[in-house]
Amino acid sequence: MNSGNIHGKVVLITGASSGIGETTARLLARQGATVVRDGGVASCHEVDVTQKDQVEKMIAAAAAQHGRIDALVSNAGLMALSPIASGKTGEWDRMIDLNIKGMLYGIAAVWPVFEKQKSGHFINIASIAGLKVAPGNTVYCATKHAVRALSEGLRMESRGKFRVTIVSPGYVESELMYGTSDEATRNGVVEAYKQNAIPADSIAGAILYAISQPDHTSVNEIVVRPTVQEF
């Protein structure tokens, strides 16, 4: 893989204090990118992405410090799985706020930066849960279906100006497996991850691949699963 198009790029990553985000930040930094994350390689910001003003301040600060932002990786998210009958509306609200609104706040804030520099790359982390629905995963699946729909609309509306990539992981080592408070569901999720999960650097490599393409080429969607995963 030619990673020559990475060197010197300014990449902002949300949800980068651990898991996929942290691993991606470290990989891109090793390849010569300048990484800004809400959790530091080149610079670090403590941000709640559900708070629009905090997201706007982070992006404004990154653009002022580095002169540009070449890519936004919207990775922050929550996977709180439970049956609909459990009525865990607080967790549903939190997933909607993080997985959908948090991504949208970043897109809205960075769009003017991309417009000014006449280039940019949106990378949105979805999930295989955005490709199909499973019982007990319904609300989480809905948020990740939304990520894919929003990303496709973003691609169409920014056609000819910016690149858009959806990355949909399967079972990947991260803290996501612990986001479920429903005990029965949580036990099943943790066990499935322990048996099947692949390293986070598998997703980091996919993100690196998408960013490293020539500016005239957009990799629109990447699905990365463990070979053994059926779902």
Q: Is 193 a catalytic residue?
A: no
Which residue of the set 140, 171, 178, 193 is catalytic?
Answer: 140
Residue pair 134/189 in contact by the 8 Å Cβ criterion = no
Structure tokens at 224: 């990365």
Pairing mode, strands 10-13 and 34-37: parallel
Structure tokens at 26: 């470290």
Cβ within 8 Å of residue 125, ≥6 positions away: 15, 20, 73, 74, 75, 77, 147, 167, 169, 203
What is the spatial distance between Cα 34 and Cα 44, in angstroms, rounded to a whole number? 11
Q: Which residues are catalytic?
A: 140
